[in-house]
């Protein structure tokens, strides 16, 4: 039986992971849960799965005492749980960089990380190599590529990630006037708020392209993206002899989570099988320059490399926050990110502290840009 720790248990990845674990109750034990919001849901998860350790990072709320459960706190608690001797696999679903230090420490101690947090690889990909532990990618696209490359590493000539294109792929209206509700209405996936906005701007796919570079060691020039609205094909791997392999499934994160939890075995998880006769027409379209400004910015950041990747992520996170709060319009998101990248002077990022420091600096800078743009008083 594997002991599983879930960081971000009340988010979409955490909830999907617990669904898989419930189906495989004889194979997995929930050793620990960590969450930042949704107190009532977390209490239900504790009562149902009986974790030994729980971390709730909200500053304003406390959980009731539950027999058999020990509460941990703050960053020290996350690190304790990530490196606990009984922890077999860590599902990292905390958005942003809040799980960065815990991920690095878990890898240092030989843990397996089922990683769903793009930002960690985008900003710290250069720090992830040479660790005792290993990363199993949860994102459906990288999971697809991993499934192929893990079993056939030789003669890979390139990889292709797929993107649904989000809610505005064929939109002809004024994007500066779209509402938060429209942006969050993703046609295929049910995800957290930031990643859903990033899917609408295609920044999410830009992040995934950067991830692929670090996770699979493929040259930047040999990683590409195609638009695939049906989201049935999750990735292609091209080989030097002309063959191409693809991985297909119904678009549901539980497939890749189940794969990671049971790796290297393939185990039925009660999920429906893709009906090939009923899946209809599959279409693919190149992402042309200029179609999605955020994707172009991600491509530029990958080309520049180094600290530009942390700037890209931090500026996007802050801009998306401002959009979700109704303070800027949808088209302001790439404008603020571009400003941050233009003003940046490269710095060396030798460790997680360097990354987190730059992350904070960029977010403050983006706020300053925003206030000047809207003629607001700068404190």
CATH number, position 17: 3.40.50.720
Domain that holds residue 112: 2-138
Alpha helices in the chain, H assignment, sequence order:
12-23, 39-49, 74-82, 100-108, 118-124, 140-149, 180-183, 193-201, 203-216, 253-262, 293-304, 308-324, 332-343, 352-373
Low-confidence ranges of the chain (pLDDT < 70): 59-60, 374-379
Evaluate whether residue 96 is within a structural domain: yes
Per the structure, the count of domains in the chain is 1
Q: What's the pLDDT at 176? A: 82
Residue 253 has, within 13 A of its CA and on its CB side, a CA count of 22
Evaluate whether residue 38 is within a structural domain: yes
Evaluate whether residue 16 is within a structural domain: yes
Of 6, 14, 100, the C-alpha closest to 55 is: 6
Three-state DSSP at 305 gives coil
Evaluate whether residue 314 is within a structural domain: no
Residues 6+ apart with CB under 8 A from 285: 226, 227, 228
Evaluate whether residue 59 is within a structural domain: yes
Strands of 134-137's sheet, edge to edge? 70-72, 53-56, 28-35, 2-7, 89-92, 112-115, 134-137
Evaluate whether residue 306 is within a structural domain: no
pLDDT tens per residue across span 330-377: 999 999 999 999 999 999 999 999 999 999 999 999 999 998 876 655
What mean pLDDT, rounded, does the chain reach?
Answer: 93
The pTM score is: 0.93
Evaluate whether residue 50 is within a structural domain: yes
Please state, for a pLDDT cut of 70, what percent of the chain lies above it: 98
- Cα 138 to Cα 260: distance, rounded to the nearest angstrom: 7
CA distances from residue 105 to 81, 102, 131, 308 in whole angstroms, order as listed? 10, 5, 9, 24
Evaluate whether residue 46 is within a structural domain: yes
Of 225, 241, 231, 235, the C-alpha closest to 288 is: 225
Q: What's the pLDDT at 379? A: 45
Q: What's the pLDDT at 378? A: 45
Q: What's the pLDDT at 20? A: 97
R_g (Cα) of the chain, nearest Å? 20
């Amino acid at each position: 039986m594997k002991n599983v720790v879930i960081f971000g248990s009340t988010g979409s990845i955490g909830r999907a992971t617990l669904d898989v674990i419930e189906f495989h109750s004889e194979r997995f034990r929930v050793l620990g849960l960590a969450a930042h919001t949704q107190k009532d849901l977390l209490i239900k998860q504790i009562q149902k799965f009986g974790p030994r350790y729980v971390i709730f990072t909200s500053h304003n709320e406390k959980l009731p005492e539950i027999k058999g459960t020990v509460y941990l706190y703050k960053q020290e608690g996350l690190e304790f749980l990530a490196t606990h001797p009984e922890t077999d696999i860590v599902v990292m679903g905390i958005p942003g960089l809040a799980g960065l230090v815990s991920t690095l420490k878990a890898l240092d101690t030989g843990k397996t990380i089922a990683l769903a947090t793009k930002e960690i690889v985008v900003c710290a990909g250069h720090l992830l190599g040479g660790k005792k532990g290993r990363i199993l990618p949860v994102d459906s696209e990288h999971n697809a590529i991993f499934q192929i490359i893990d079993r056939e590493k030789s003669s890979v000539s390139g990889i292709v990630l797929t993107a649904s294109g989000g809610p505005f792929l064929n939109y002809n209206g004024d994007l500066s006037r779209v509402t938060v509700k429209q942006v969050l209405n993703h046609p295929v996936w049910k995800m957290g708020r930031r990643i859903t906005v990033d899917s609408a701007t295609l920044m999410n796919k830009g992040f995934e392209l950067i991830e692929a570079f670090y996770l699979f060691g493929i040259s930047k020039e040999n990683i590409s993206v195609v638009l695939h609205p049906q989201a049935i094909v999750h990735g292609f791997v091209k080989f030097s002899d002309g063959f191409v392999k693809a991985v297909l499934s119904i678009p549901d994160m539980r497939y890749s989570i189940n794969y990671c939890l049971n790796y290297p075995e393939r185990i039925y998880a009660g999920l429906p099988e893709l009906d090939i006769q009923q899946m209809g027409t599959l279409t693919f379209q190149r992402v042309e320059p200029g179609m999605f400004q955020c994707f172009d910015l991600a491509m530029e950041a990958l080309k520049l490399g180094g600290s530009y990747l942390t700037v890209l992520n931090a500026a996007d996170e802050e801009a998306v926050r401002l959009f979700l709060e109704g303070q800027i319009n949808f088209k302001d998101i790439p404008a603020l990110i571009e400003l941050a990248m233009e003003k940046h002077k490269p710095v060396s990022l030798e460790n997680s502290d360097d990354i987190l420091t730059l992350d904070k600096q960029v977010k403050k800078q983006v706020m300053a840009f925003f206030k000047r743009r809207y003629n607001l008083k700068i404190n």
